[in-house]
Amino acid sequence: MEEEKKIIVFTIILILFSVNLVSALNEGVGISENGVEYDEKILDESPKNRIMHERFKEIDKTYQKLIKKAKSNLDDSKILFFQYSGETSISADLSNQLSYLFPEKVIVVMRVLDVTTSISVRGEKVRKKVLKAIEGLEGATGGGHENAVGAKIKTKDLEEFKEMLR
């Protein structure tokens, strides 16, 4: 149960930073030199953090729906491609969770907007592969760590990118 509380607190804190609601926690969270400190009061909904909890529930509902949809895309291939769109940008969170659930796969989460697509890739030694896949694509950018990479490409190049990655 203690581990579950830590995960919930960590998720809430990530969402707060993502949606700029840190001010809603005036008394609940402080940042120290050693990392994030928190007061467990943050887990209990109160008038002081009601907005934060409402936003968390909203984002979590979307997150859980997208994870379920991504799981339905599973097949025998080594790469799990998952594509979504919408206002909420949670590609990195989705790819991290899917990578945890399916460590044997390369996870490619793509958030498609009108003209551009943001991509989050997780997997063993994927950096070189992703950078090579975007190399010839006009206006494409990317970078990151050896096992966690982000990229942005034009939506019209999405199929070519996927082919290059296979």
CB 28 within 8 Å of CB 39: yes
The pLDDT, as a whole number, for residue 48 is 79
Q: What is the pLDDT of residues 74-132, one digit of tens each?
A: 888 899 999 999 888 888 999 999 999 999 999 999 999 989 999 999 999 999 999 99
The torsion of the CA quartet 63, 67, 68, 73, rounded to 10 degrees, works out to 140
| Helix 2-19, helix 50-71: angle, nearest 10 | 100
Q: What is the pLDDT of residues 5-32, one digit of tens each?
A: 666 666 666 665 554 444 444 444 555 4
Q: What is the pLDDT of residues 126-147, one digit of tens each?
A: 999 999 998 888 898 899 999 9
Phi, psi of 109 (to 5 degrees): -105, 130
Give the whole-angstrom CA distance, residue 22 versus residue 33: 17
Which listed CATH number (3.40.50.1370, 1.10.3720.10, 1.20.910.10, 3.10.310.40) goes with 75-165?
3.10.310.40
pTM for the whole structure: 0.72
Closest CA to 10 of 93, 89, 66: 93
The domain ranges of the chain are 2-60, 75-165
Burial of 87 (0-12, 13-18, 19+ CB in 10 A): exposed
Query: In sequence order, which ranges of the chain are alpha helices (DSSP H)?
Result: 2-19, 50-71, 91-101, 127-134, 158-165
Q: Give, as one character, the DSSP assignment of residue 145.
A: -
Give the chain's length: 166
